[in-house]
A and B are shown apart, each in its own frame.
Chain A
Amino acid sequence: MIQNFISISGYGIFVWLSFFITFLACAIIYYKTFKTLKKYEKEFAKELNNLSEKERKLVLEKSKIASQVLASYNKSV
């Protein structure tokens, strides 16, 4: 039964390869996108930390995005 499932009536190589290539491509793009997102979050948080205390406070008060990125970065750290 397992052999039948793997060979898929002789089409196994084509069917499994199609699914494998699709999910491999999806996994690679997901990994790359996730890594880039985390890199930008880290750089943004670093840039924010380089500001003076007064400037940082002002940025965090004015920009919801800035505070959310910082929160997300701190959570992942």
Chain B
Amino acid sequence: MFALINPSRVFYWIEKLINFINSVFFILLIIALTFALILSPPDYLQGDNVRIMYVHVPSAWIGLASFTCIALLSILNFIFKLKNLNLITKSIAPIGLMFTCLAIVTGSLWGQPTWGTWWVWDARITSMTILSIFYILFIVSHKFIENEDKANKLSNIIAIVGLVNIPVIKYSVDWWNTLHQPSSINLNGPNHIHSSMLVPLMLMLLVLLLYCALIFLMKYKTEIIRIKKKNIKRI
């Protein structure tokens, strides 16, 4: 199964996928922005401020999903010792950090007109800040430790320890009394969001996921070239 993610096999498809995403991205972006900024109705309580949710919520989801992915791949890496998994996790981390920071910043911009404050040490916001610290530690361990094996080992440990924070973020609004509203979208239960708002939310999520895929593929390709360059005479 792991042969499928062998760099030599996937390299050709990386180029194809990058070209495909580039060709559809701007059309989807315009459609999503039209829905998010023009066609979707204002919320009965939050008014037009709800439009911030169309960037805030997908950013938070991507930040969480990226870290979960990194942590699970790190566990697999500890078991199977596959160097390729390190290249993948290293390529995902900057994307996850950016979207986690975006979720915090856009959340703050939403909080000022809604709660009357830019920042509170609320359980959800604090746990998201801790997530961004784990991302920073993960990236810094690769940047500043020269021995690649040591850097990989340390970053894997950071990711696995950080995994504990993911359910804390998810359930923080249920476990503690927080200012942050409970989730409106549940995979296992009824959704508390009208379709006129769900459509722009999903469209923005799709656009941002395509963007993530594009950056991931470009970063992964860079990592593969970096490794090949190092071992060019051994090819």
Cα distance A18–B113 in the bound complex, in angstroms: 13
User: Which residues 138-172 in B have Cβ within 8 Å of A in the complex?
Assistant: none
Specify which of A30, A43, A51, A65 is in contact with B214 (CB 8 Å cutoff).
A30
Query: How many chain A residues have a CB neighbour from B under 8 Å?
Result: 37
Interface size class of B (residues with CB under 8 A): 35 or more
Give the residues in chain B near A11, CB-CB below 8 Å: 47-49, 51, 113
**A44-B228 CB under 8 A given contacts A65-B11, A68-B11:** yes
Binds A, one of B69-77, B104-112, B189-197: B104-112
The majority secondary structure among interface residues of chain B is helix
| B94 & A9 in contact (Cβ 8 Å cutoff) | no
How far, in angstroms, from A40 to B110 measured CA to CA in the complex? 40
> Do the beta carbons of A18 and B214 come within 8 Å of each other?
no
Between A and B, 12 residue pairs with Cβ closer than 8 Å are: A5-B38, A8-B48, A9-B47, A9-B48, A18-B56, A19-B55, A21-B105, A25-B101, A25-B102, A37-B222, A41-B225, A64-B8
Using a CB–CB cutoff of 8 Å, the interface residues on chain A facing chain B are 5, 8-11, 14-15, 17-19, 21-22, 25-26, 29-30, 33-34, 36-37, 40-41, 43-44, 47-48, 51, 55, 59, 62-66, 68-69, 72
